[in-house]
Chain A
Amino acid sequence: MEVQVAETGPCSRTLTITVPPASVQQHLDEVYKSASQQVQLKGFRPGKVPRKLVEQRWGESILAEAKEQLVNRFLGDACRDQQIQPIGRVSVDDYDKLEVKIGTELKFTAKVDVRPQLEIKNAKGLVVERYETEATDTDVDNALAEVANQKRSMKKIDEPAQDGDFVKADLKFQDAGGTIVLERKNSQLNTRIPIAGATPEAFAKALAGAKPGDQIALDITFPDNFEKDALRGQAGQVHIAVHEVLRITPAAIDDALAKGLEFGDLAALKDDLRTRIASEKVRVGKMRQEEQCLQALATAHPFDLPGSLVEEQQVASLNTFGNRLKQQGGISDDEIRKKLEESKDEAYQDAQRRVRLFFLIEAVARQHKIFVTETDIDAELRNIAQANSKDGQQVTAAQVREYLDKNKQLGELRLGLLERKVRDFLRENAAVVDKKAS
């Protein structure tokens, strides 16, 4: 086998491989021998079909398979000989035109991407900003207000209606001659949602300041879906007799609110919120520090990325996005295509960021001898098993391992654990400085 390697970019190599006729012949002989053992033909005992017949009947598909095997085998050998570690997609020039024939050599050109040369100089002492670990009184108050807002209710008020309030009223629709054509009792109206046929501005103006007992007349144009066909599109009037004004009011921040959420009193609720806010601040703070470390590393170590790997990531993320849109429904294929087209650039940027991160993490792990051990994997499998166990149905770590192994996701799990370990390492060895006043 003859191999010529050309460096076609920082992360790409072109290999021109020539397989001598003898090797092609030897491979084809093996392939036909194996095919003869497998094919079944009436009139022949199994494994006794002559090669000539096999060639005549199944030659085309066998040669196609042999071509794939030859290319893979010799490309693999060439990469090993030349100490090239391909990464991402491998493309063979004019693969369809390649012909495998007995007595002729096989010459093909393959383009492969290789890992970038990346040496991390120093992954320790990266500067990160200190994060808050305590929840302030303002944080707790804001969270309480949010909780109270979630427990809001509609209450009758003795005030004139304001923007956003509700009004309970009787409605009488009259035609241009003053004849009542439709009556509605106890309708609930929102000042922001006009009656069909009224303009939003006129409706909001008419209800502004309304109080119980008020009689409001409002000009309308009967809408196209009005119950009486003859009046559709005609001018008319609606008379609104206001009974009540209602307003959405957040729940009162008191012990009752806390008890409704299964806390003893308001102080207990506040304590719980304080703890939760503090732990969330720590989580977000740690994540921010890790991002700062990785950003600093990326800035200090610029390197080129293998194009095919970025493209693979881009395609994968666009496919996921497309599938999600399809599952959501209510959107045509054309619209999905348009959205995917619009997201292409963003997906490319994201793919670049992820691939860069992958190589940085790998380089840090290599430099500082960070490994994922079987103990780490077992612990993670136990965590997953525990998270997926429900009452009466216990999932074991062995079952999780079997499932992941079957779906070829153990590698992904290992990679995820490595990333977590590297992130922890970077954060724990970083130099923490106080946040700059903005």
Chain B
Amino acid sequence: MANPNQYYDVLVRPVVTEKSTLHQASGQYTFEVAPQANKVEIRKAVETLFKVKVTSVNIVRLPGKIKRSFGRPGMTRPWKKAVITLRKGDNIEIA
């Protein structure tokens, strides 16, 4: 069995927004994930850490945005978002 600690490196944080909260009602949970993580790793991480059954994983890469700070242009960091759909009846408690 793989070391469960490695899964904590895959899932960075849950994304708690108005939209993601709305999706929870239909069994879809949103996480920020490691930039190198693939769908298989994300599925395994969620299933192992939350003891649930994942039916699908959708990934989206979000590029950094150009922001100005003190007149100088800068970039916010790029990140990867995963929307995980759980088997009907399963749920995750996200604070």
Contacts and interface: CB of A to CB of B under 8 A. Distances in A.
Interface in A34-83: 41, 43-45, 48, 50, 53, 56-57
B5 interface: no
B16 A53 contact: yes
Interface string B6-18: 0000000001111
A82 B50 CA distance: 55
B18 A57 contact: no
Contacts of A56: 95
A44 B95 contact: no
B21 A53 contact: yes
Interface of B is mostly: loop
A57 B95 contact: yes
Interface in B46-91: none
Contacts of B16: 41, 43, 53
Contacts of B15: 43
Interface of A is mostly: loop
B21 A50 contact: yes
Nearest to A41: B16
Contacts of A53: 16, 21, 95
Contacts of B21: 44, 50, 53
A45 to B, nearest CB: 6
Contacts of A44: 17-18, 21
Interface residues of A, number: 9
A48 B16 CA distance: 12
Contacts of A43: 15-18, 20
Nearest to A49: B18
B95 A48 contact: no
A377 to B, nearest CB: 55
Nearest to A56: B95
A43 B21 CA distance: 10
Contacts of A50: 21
A41 B21 CA distance: 13
Contacts of B17: 43-44
Contacts of A41: 16
Nearest to B93: A56
A41 B18 CA distance: 10
A49 to B, nearest CB: 8
B18 A45 contact: yes
Contacts of A57: 95
Interface in A191-205: none
A50 B17 CA distance: 10
B21 to A, nearest CB: 5
Contacts of A48: 18
B28 to A, nearest CB: 15
Contacts of B20: 43
A114 B86 CA distance: 62
A19 B15 CA distance: 40
Contacts of A45: 18
B79 to A, nearest CB: 14
A43 B94 CA distance: 14
Interface of B: 15-18, 20-21, 95
17 contacts: A41-B16, A43-B15, A43-B16, A43-B17, A43-B18, A43-B20, A44-B17, A44-B18, A44-B21, A45-B18, A48-B18, A50-B21, A53-B16, A53-B21, A53-B95, A56-B95, A57-B95
- The 9 A-B pairs with the shortest beta carbon distances in the complex, nearest first, are A43-B17, A44-B18, A56-B95, A48-B18, A50-B21, A43-B16, A45-B18, A43-B18, A44-B17
Given A43-B18, A53-B21, 15 more contacts: A41-B16, A43-B15, A43-B16, A43-B17, A43-B20, A44-B17, A44-B18, A44-B21, A45-B18, A48-B18, A50-B21, A53-B16, A53-B95, A56-B95, A57-B95
